[in-house]
A and B are shown apart, each in its own frame.
Chain A
Amino acid sequence: MTRQSISTKPSVAGISRRKLLGLGVGSAGALALGSTLPGALRRARAESAADARFLFILTATGGASIIDSLLPVAHSEISSPERVAALTAYPDEAIASPPGSGFRCVRNLSDRFTALPFGSDFDPVDFVSRRKDDMLVMTLDNTSVNHDVAQQRSMNGDGVDRGRTIAEAMAMTYGFEQPLANCMMSSGGFTQAGIWDEVPDEARAVLIGDPWQLALATHGSRGLAGVPSVDDVARARHTCELLDEHSAFGRRYGHSEARERFLALRGGASAELEGADLVDTLMLLEQTPERPLSALGLSPSPELERLRERLPKLGEDRLHAQAALAFLLAREGASSVVTFGPGFIPPIDSDGRAFGTPLAFDFSHTNHLVSQNVMWCRMFEVLDGLIGLLQSEPLGDGSMWDQSLIYVATDFGRTKVIPEGGSFFNFSSGHDLNNGSLLLSPRLRGNRVYGGVDPETCLTYGFDPRTGEPEPGRLMGAPHLYSLIAQALEIDFPGRLDMSGLLR
Chain B
Amino acid sequence: MKRSLFIVCVLLGACNAETSADASTQDCAPPAESLRWKRADVLVNDLAGSLELEQATICTELGTTPCREVHGISLGASEPFLNTLYEPLPRPMVTTALAIDRVMLSACRRGVERDQRVASDERVVFTHIELGAASLDPADAGVKAQVHELYQRLLGRDATDDEVAMVAELATDDVSAETFATLACFSIATTTEFLFY
Residues in A lying within 8 Å of B, measured CB to CB? 179-180, 186-188, 191, 201-202, 204, 206-210, 213, 216-221, 223-228, 232-233, 235-237, 239-240, 242-244, 246-247, 249-250, 252-259, 261-263, 265-266, 269-270, 273-274, 285, 290-293, 296, 318, 343-345
Contacts and interface: CB of A to CB of B under 8 A. Distances in A.
Contacts of A226: 109, 113
Interface residues of B, number: 60
Nearest to B167: A239
Contacts of A236: 170, 183-184, 186-187, 190
A273 B32 contact: no
A133 to B, nearest CB: 35
Nearest to B34: A256
Q: Max chain B CB contacts within 10 Å: which of A180, A247, A344?
A: A247
A247 B188 CA distance: 11
A232 B62 CA distance: 21
A299 to B, nearest CB: 13
A188 B80 CA distance: 9
Given A213-B70, A217-B71, A233-B105, A296 B62 contact: yes
A221 B160 CA distance: 28
Contacts of B84: 187-188, 191, 343-344
Interface string B80-97: 011111000101111111
- Among the interface residues B106, B160, B166, which one has the most CB atoms of the partner chain A within 10 A? B166
A224 B109 contact: yes
A447 B97 CA distance: 46
Given A207-B74, A227-B106, 18 more contacts: A207-B85, A209-B79, A220-B101, A224-B59, A224-B102, A225-B106, A226-B113, A228-B109, A236-B186, A237-B101, A239-B169, A247-B191, A249-B192, A259-B32, A261-B92, A262-B96, A265-B93, A345-B81
A271 to B, nearest CB: 8
B169 A209 contact: no
B95 A258 contact: no
B136 interface: no
A274 to B, nearest CB: 6
B61 interface: yes
A187 B82 contact: yes
A179 B29 CA distance: 38
Contacts of B160: 246-247
A249 B29 CA distance: 13
A345 B83 CA distance: 9
A314 to B, nearest CB: 17
A156 to B, nearest CB: 17
A244 B32 contact: no
Nearest to A214: B95
Contacts of B32: 252-257, 259
B175 A216 contact: no
Contacts of A254: 32
B102 A253 contact: no
B35 interface: yes
Interface in B1-55: 29, 32-33, 35-37
A223 B184 CA distance: 20
28 contacts: A187-B83, A187-B85, A191-B85, A209-B82, A210-B70, A216-B61, A216-B71, A217-B70, A217-B71, A217-B99, A218-B98, A219-B98, A220-B105, A227-B106, A232-B183, A239-B167, A240-B186, A243-B193, A246-B166, A256-B35, A258-B33, A262-B196, A270-B94, A270-B96, A274-B98, A293-B62, A296-B63, A345-B81
A255 B70 CA distance: 32
A266 B83 contact: no
B132 to A, nearest CB: 15
B73 interface: yes
Contacts of B97: 220, 262, 265-266, 270
Contact of B95 (A186, A250, A270): A270
B155 to A, nearest CB: 8
B145 interface: no
A256 B82 contact: no
